[in-house]
Structure 1
Amino acid sequence: MRAKNRLSSSFVKTAPVGKHCDGAGLWLVKREDGGAQWVLRVTVHGRRREMGLGGFPSLGLADARKLAERWRNVVAAGRDPVKEREAEERAARREDISLAMLTADAFESRKAELKGDGTAGRWLSPLTLHVLPKLGKVPVTDLDQRDIRDTLAPIWHTKADTARKALNRISIVIRHAAALGLDVDLQATEKAKALLGKSRHVPKNIPAMAWADVPAFYASLEEPTLTHLALRLLILTGVRSTPLRKIQLDQIEGDVWTVPAESMKGRKGATLDFRVPLADEARRVIDLARPHERNGFLFPNARGGVISDMTLSRHMERRGLKARPHGFRTSLRTWLAEATDAPHEVAEAMLAHLVDSGVVRAYRRTDFLEQRRSLAERWADHVTGGAGNVVALRR
């Protein structure tokens, strides 16, 4: 029997379902749906490789043999035909290795790591706003530190945090391109950072209210409006604004509110939900908010969503206060440090801060719920004026 060219044109046209060898590693694979595929099997560096050459009848018998011979010659030269073809395809679509395309590809690869699969757009926004309008069409293999410097220089001192995030994202995209086998400069962002110099921007902390002043402010939230009730619950629980504004009734069971893991900021790599102990006063506020519930959300807005973070901030701004809603987390943390003997890890858990390494957390499988429940009641006592006094809401 011949080692090559075993099949005939007539047989190929009427071949039954199955695999049919033409010799020297070339096979015709006939599928049950009637379609057929040419496949070449070769051995490169002791490893079996299988590559599809094309479908029949668009690729006929004669052309399939010519194509198979070409890739056999590549193998004979000691090269991997699959990698060789991939390199040729990348070269043929050079316009597709632009920074914009690689950014989109890197984002798709990282979506699972981002909160809500990155739907909020915060991972991409530093690039889409400040980098891609200028460098989006530049092939990533041509990108160098001068390009990055010139792009970020206008915001390096004025929007330092955004510029830092943009530089970090560019580095991730370049590493992604390198992993795809593209010839990129992995040090480009570090070199750009050296050219840009040290930022003159001085970060400012979010203004916070002194914990001793919180009871007076809490007492002033006397109307059962969404804004007043949301601010009260924000103060009592110490959570961030986003999970508070998006709280749903089915997340509450008894005196525990379970915040979904995807709603928690600053807990990268964490897969567990976060349990928030609810003091008696917090549960009372929730009961007062129940009449406002819509679609399961405790603090809805008129457009079918939830109240915005600016709603809470503007309420405090209109009252002439420098403090902002997020600052109540600082108020609580300072109270824990100055007015209680709570251990450091328990105090940090009150604010859902991750402490210690992932290894330590893997062995210390507790969220200190009972200790935090006691502290939540004590904080509520302080906020309501002491000794568990209930601050009345005006109807």
Structure 2
Amino acid sequence: MTRAINKLSAQAVKAADAGKYSDGGGLWVFKNEDGGGKWVLRVHVHGRRREMGLGGYPAVSLKEARLEAEKWRSVVRQGQDPIKLREKQARDSARNLHLLSDVALDAFESRKAELKGDGKAGRWFSPLELHILPKLGKVPVSDIDQRDIRDVLAPIWHDKAETARKAMNRLSICLRHAAALGLEVDLQATEKAKALLGKQRHQTQNVPALHWQDVPAFYQSLNEGTVTELALRLLILTAQRSAPVRFLHLDQIEGDVWTVPASRMKGRIGTTTDFRVPLSTEAQAVIEQAKAFARDGFLFAGVRRGVISDATMSKYMNRRGMKERPHGFRSSFRDWAAEATNAPHEVAETCMGHVVGGKVERAYRRTDFLEQRRVLMERWSGLCCGTPSQIVRFANAQHQ
């Protein structure tokens, strides 16, 4: 015989005095003296009676209590204990808050301020996104061990060694971040995984670069006056990386000095100081020529919006059948400074934006060698333009 259900009405529940009232089907409302109460579902499963709370009244209405009761009655009909199932779901939900994908995103957000451009290019996160999270993203971070990491990175460990190294590094940061959150993780998992994977066979190759003696011919061939060629010319003349050149804003230039914001400088760990670049006469002429293409203050504007992409200059060189890449001109400059000048090491390195010396040494040495660099870059410009005087001599080079 089917038990009657839905015996109560919303008005009857509201008007009821303190006591217990059945809606049928095991659903009860326990009213208090103050008019509040709670909903309780009574069921029989595995030969015993179980009572589970379905929420307080009036926060949970009669209609909502009936829907919730039917959901758990269905669980009973399947032979499961609804209370144990609800507890398991709560535990799983709590664990899901600590999936590797969640921890990785949280770690990324907490480090954005430390990353160039707040990590907007996605380079910090992409090794995780491409090689770790597709297989381990839904795994609770506390469950990840060295075997999981080995299995994920094994396919690229030797063939894409640098990518695999970055992915391993990012994962290690995520594990440390999880530990800081108070989660139980194996902080040695990545080191153990490296032991399982073995020493990488792949050798990192340097970016192909033109010999410094071949730079003048290439520089002088950049004579079409396009945005890409002008950007390449300035990159060569200043020995800077692609990003500072591409994002050069006119308000960064004052006279013959270009001040690159610290956030645009890579490889200057240990300093948050903006970097001054002395502009040779030729570099200033290139900037003047490029101003005709400026948009929103950016000297090397893209076709539709923003600035030219990271690949624009590389593709240009590739179309000319060159294996060398824009970044290689930094090596060209550095080799020239070493082979054709007696410029002090710290002057040549500072020209490239490198931080020279230890923390204590830098604390006492406040100079950025601007005047010495001005002389060196003017001579480098002369070499690129094919003018004489390719040898640079510094007086008392040992002490500058």
Confirm or deny a common fold (TM above 0.5): yes
Aligned to 1:154: 155
Instruction: Report whether the alignment pairs 1:114 with 2:111.
Output: no
Equivalence map 1:251-290=2 (5 Å): 251-290=252-291
- 3-state SS in 2 of match to 1:335: helix
Name the count of aligned residue pairs.
Answer: 303
Could you tell me the TM-score, scaled by structure 1's length?
A: 0.74
Instruction: Report whether the alignment pairs 1:197 with 2:198.
Output: yes
Q: Distance in 2 between matches of 1:121 and 1:270?
A: 23
The Cα of 1:92 is off from its aligned counterpart by 7.0
Output the aligned Cα RMSD.
1.9
Q: Distance in 2 between matches of 1:263 and 1:358?
A: 21
- 3-state SS in 2 of match to 1:257: strand
Equivalence map 1:1-395=2 (5 Å): 93-387=94-388
- 3-state SS in 1 of match to 2:97: helix
Note if contact 1:97-1:140 (Cα within 8 Å) is conserved in structure 2: yes
The one-letter code matched in structure 2 to 1:245 is: R
What whole-Å deviation, never above 9, does each CA across 1:348-389 have from its counterpart, x for those lacking one? Answer: 001111122223222211211111000011111111112389
Note if contact 1:113-1:269 (Cα within 8 Å) is conserved in structure 2: no
Q: Distance in 2 between matches of 1:361 and 1:214?
A: 33
1:256 to 1:367, Cα distance in 2 relative to 1, 3 A: same
The Cα of 1:313 is off from its aligned counterpart by 1.3
Q: Distance in 2 between matches of 1:187 and 1:136?
A: 19
What whole-Å deviation, never above 9, does each CA across 1:104-139 have from its counterpart, x for those lacking one? Answer: 222222222111222221111100111011001111
The Cα of 1:90 is off from its aligned counterpart by 9.1
1:90 to 1:228, Cα distance in 2 relative to 1, 3 A: same
Aligned to 1:21: none
Q: Distance in 2 between matches of 1:105 and 1:287?
A: 44
Q: Distance in 2 between matches of 1:387 and 1:261?
A: 35
Note if contact 1:277-1:372 (Cα within 8 Å) is conserved in structure 2: yes
The Cα of 1:184 is off from its aligned counterpart by 1.1
Q: Distance in 2 between matches of 1:90 and 1:365?
A: 57
Note if contact 2:269-2:355 (Cα within 8 Å) is conserved in structure 1: no
Q: Distance in 2 between matches of 1:182 and 1:310?
A: 41
Q: Distance in 1 between matches of 2:92 and 2:225?
A: 65
The one-letter code matched in structure 2 to 1:221 is: L
The Cα of 1:269 is off from its aligned counterpart by 4.0
Q: Distance in 2 between matches of 1:388 and 1:341?
A: 14
**Percent identity (aligned):** 67
Note if contact 1:248-1:297 (Cα within 8 Å) is conserved in structure 2: yes
Aligned to 1:3: none
What whole-Å deviation, never above 9, does each CA across 1:315-369 have from its counterpart, x for those lacking one? Answer: 2122222211111100000000001111111110011111222232222112111
Unaligned runs of 5+ in 2: 1-58, 60-89, 391-400
Which stretch shows the higher mean deviation, 234-243 or 312-321? 312-321
The one-letter code matched in structure 2 to 1:166 is: A
The one-letter code matched in structure 1 to 2:369 is: F
Q: Distance in 2 between matches of 1:139 and 1:103?
A: 11
What whole-Å deviation, never above 9, does each CA across 1:41-92 have from its counterpart, x for those lacking one? Answer: xxxxxxxxxxxxxxxxx9xxxxxxxxxxxxxxxxxxxxxxxxxxxxxx9997
Could you tell me the TM-score, scaled by structure 2's length?
A: 0.73
Q: Which has the larger radius of gyration?
A: 2
What whole-Å deviation, never above 9, does each CA across 1:278-319 have from its counterpart, x for those lacking one? Answer: 000110111111111111011112211111232211221222
The Cα of 1:101 is off from its aligned counterpart by 1.2
Q: Distance in 2 between matches of 1:120 and 1:387?
A: 42
Unaligned runs of 5+ in 1: 1-57, 59-88, 390-395
- 3-state SS in 1 of match to 2:311: helix
The Cα of 1:157 is off from its aligned counterpart by 1.1
The one-letter code matched in structure 1 to 2:235 is: L
Q: Distance in 1 between matches of 2:118 and 2:246?
A: 20
Note if contact 1:156-1:199 (Cα within 8 Å) is conserved in structure 2: yes
The one-letter code matched in structure 1 to 2:178 is: A
Note if contact 2:295-2:301 (Cα within 8 Å) is conserved in structure 1: yes
